Amino acid sequence: MSSSVKRAFKYRFYPTPEQAAELSRTFGCVRLVYNMALQARTQAWKLRGERVNYGASSAMLTAWKKTAELAFLNEVSCVPLQQVLRHLQTAFVNFWEKRAEHPTFKSKKRSRRSAEYTTSGFRYRDGRLTLAKMTEPLQIVWSRPLPQDATPSTVTVSQDSAGRWFVSLLCQDVIEHAPVVGAVGIDAGLDSLLTLSNGEKILNPRHERRDRAALARAQRNLARKEKGSANRAKARLKVARVHARLADRRRDHLHQLTTRLVRENQTIVIEDLTVGNMVKNHHLARAISDAAWRQLRGMLEYKARWHGRTLVVVDRWFPSSKLCSACGVLAQQMPLGLRSWTCRCGAVHDRDVNAARNILAEGLSVIACGGGVRPQRESSRTRRSSVKQEPPGATQGIPVL
């Protein structure tokens, strides 16, 4: 059994000076058009109570290009400019349907530098990708092959804060569903990143701790530089490279871990953790952020949909640590420092393993009887329920790997 999904394959590339200059101009124009369209739509609502749609925004863009002040918008490809208007329309739809906050302006320093090209804005032939307004193909490092006979429908070019260039190609792919029958409950932690209901503990690699000294040196060096100077820009780049190295290692580890869990188990049960509230604890905020539980959950969600698995999210208030997995008795007190305890029935429990077993039992009861889970909040991208299972053959989400 298999399913057809849309997947974005991300690669690093090295542009020529001319290509880098063209893409930098495109990023700037994309940001400018987005901000101008957002301002026009906001003012139209405040002054006249009028909702400006994509068609009206596109007409505004045509008029802007004809003015002397904004004539430079004609120097870049029109495809990314139209795409950013479509993205703004999607942001407003999510806001009107109360799935997201009101769109905000893009900052030159903090916003992601990216541009999206549809099929009319690029040419892909024999593994060579050429963007509009460019004569030479991009020098892409093909770290892995695209699906056989795949043709990209969308190409997104981006540059991160460390100065690295990436291109993401959206393609249709077919994923085979390998039959498995296992079920696993997962308890997230800090000493052990994950504890499984079968007793296995996956150690927390603590990526941030390994580079903490290097990051501190780079940040001290940045603080000593004069604002606006070239040396400060160089120092900022060094800080960004340390952060990028940390993020790359963390993402790679989570990808390997979640892929293994999805391939080995048909049913996966996790807790609904409120990471946003947990990081308010200043003693544990750094360690919780480094563990990246929210990123891990997101990977499990879309990979479970890809492979036809069932993902159950248990209510955050379920007392998984206090409940005895042998007799079901609820302990009155369970301090955080207590890592093992003995129930009055005589069962000796490892705190994390016991919690994982209780999470698994609760998740299986939800599948069998329903109820017992907290309804999840809808995200701005998809409407998700507490029990996640997609029928084979359905088109799924588009995460970037």
For the chain, the three-class secondary structure string (H helix, E strand, C coil) is CEEEEEEEEEEEECCCHHHHHHHHHHHHHHHHHHHHHHHHHHHHHHHHCCCCCHHHHHHHHHHHHCCCCCHHHHHCCHHHHHHHHHHHHHHHHHHHCCCCCCCCCCCCCCCCEEEEEEHHHEEEECCEEEECCCCCCCCEECCCCCCCCCCCCEEEEEECCCCCEEEEEEEEEEEECCCCCCEEEEEECCCEEEEECCCCEEECCCHHHHCHHHHHHHHHHHHCCCCCCHHHHHHHHHHHHHHHHHHHHHHHHHHHHHHHHHHHCCEEEEECCCHHHHCCCCCCHHHHHHHCHHHHHHHHHHHHHHHCCEEEEECCCCCCCCECCCCCCECCCCCCCCCEEECCCCCEEEHHHHHHHHHHHHHHHHHHHCCCCCCCCCCCCCCCCCEECCCCCCCCCCCEC
Catalytic residue among 271, 290, 301, 362: 271
Catalytic annotation present for 252 = no
Catalytic annotation present for 208 = no
Distance CA 371, CA 386 (A): 10
Catalytic residue among 22, 116, 187, 290: 187
In the Cβ-directed half-sphere of 67, how many Cα atoms lie within 13 Å?
A: 7
Catalytic residue among 116, 352, 362, 390: 352
Asked if 360 and 351 count as a contact pair (C-beta separation under 8 A), the reply is: no
Catalytic annotation present for 187 = yes
Query: Which residues have a catalytic role annotated?
Result: 187, 271, 352
